[in-house]
Amino acid sequence: MFEFIKGSVDFVGPEYIVVENNGIGYQIMTPNPFVFAKETGKEIRIYTYHYVREDLIALYGFKTREEKALFTRLLNVSGIGPKGALAILASGEPEQVVQAIENEDESFLVKFPGVGKKTARQMILDLKGKLHDLVPDFFPNLFNADEVAATVSHSTEFDEALLALKALGYSEKEIRKITPDLKKEQLTTDQYIKKALQKLLR
C-alpha cells in the first residue's frame, strides 16, 4: 500500500519511530529504532510495509528496499511473524543470516528470539537459494563505530538499548548474561544494540 514515507523523525523509542508528514505522525515499527536517533528532526525516506491481520494493523519501516524485501520473505516462512522478522533483521548482519540459510546452519538460526528448530528448518526449506539477489546491496552498516556519541548520558543509552532488546523478544536472563561486558564501554544506543546482538548470537 505504501512504498515509502518521506518526512521528519519526530520520536524514537525502543519499538518504533514516529515520522511526521503533512501534519500526520506515522508510527513505524523498525528492527532497531535507535538507528534513527541521530536523525531526529531531520527528513528521511523510510521504506514501509503495511501489515494487516485480524488482530493487528501496523506499519513496518526499513532504511533500504533490500531490507524490506528480506522482511517480507521472512514473513512468508511459516512460524515467523513480524516481531520475529524484526528481531532477525536487528542483528545488522543479514549476510550471516543468508549464509546460515544457505549452509543449513540451524544452530545459528535458533539463536534468534522465537526461532526454534522447526522454524529454522522451515526457513532453510523456504528460502535457501532464493536470497542471492539481496546479498550485493544489503543495508549499509547501521552501526558506525566512528559515530560521535549522542548527547544523552551513558546510562540512558544503555537503558534504551536494553529496552530495545526486550522489545525484540530477548529474555531478562539472556540480557543479564551480556550486560557486564556492555557496561565496560560508552557507546551510542545503536552501538550498544549492535554489540549486544553480536554477543547474543554467538
Distances (CA, A) of 70 to 64, 131, 139: 10, 8, 11
Domain boundaries, the chain: 4-62, 65-134, 154-200
What integer pLDDT is reported at residue 102 of this predicted model?
Answer: 87
Greatest pairwise CA separation for the chain in angstroms: 47
How much is the average pLDDT of 35-61? 94
Give pLDDT tens digits for 90-123: 876 777 888 889 889 999 999 998 899 999 999 9
Residues 31 and 90 sit within 8 Å (Cβ to Cβ): yes
The C-alpha cell of 194 is what?
A: 549492535
Was domain 4-62 assigned CATH 3.40.1710.10?
Answer: no
Q: What share of the chain is helix, strand, coil (3-state, %, to 5)?
A: 45, 20, 35
Same fold flag, 4-62 and 65-134: no
The C-alpha cell of 152 is what?
A: 544523552
User: Which CATH superfamily, name and number, covers 65-134?
Assistant: 5' to 3' exonuclease, C-terminal subdomain (1.10.150.20)
* Bridge partners (DSSP) listed for residue 15: none
pLDDT higher than threshold 60 for residue 60? yes
**How many helices (H) and strands (E) would you count in the chain?**
8, 5
Question: What's the whole-model pTM score?
Answer: 0.69
Q: Three-state SS for 149?
A: coil
Query: Which are the contacts of 112, defined by CB distance < 8 A and separation ≥ 6?
Result: 84, 87, 88, 91, 201
The C-alpha cell of 99 is what?
A: 549464509
Query: Which are the contacts of 59, defined by CB distance < 8 A and separation ≥ 6?
Result: 2, 5, 26, 27, 28, 29, 48, 49, 50, 51
Give pLDDT tens digits for 128-183: 988 876 655 443 433 333 333 333 344 688 888 999 998 999 988 899 889 888 88
pLDDT higher than threshold 90 for residue 49? yes
What integer pLDDT is reported at residue 95 of this predicted model?
Answer: 77
What integer pLDDT is reported at residue 65 of this predicted model?
Answer: 86
What integer pLDDT is reported at residue 152 of this predicted model?
Answer: 33
Residues 60 and 82 sit within 8 Å (Cβ to Cβ): yes
What integer pLDDT is reported at residue 30 of this predicted model?
Answer: 95
83 alpha carbon, distance to own chain's centre: 9
Residues 49 and 59 sit within 8 Å (Cβ to Cβ): yes
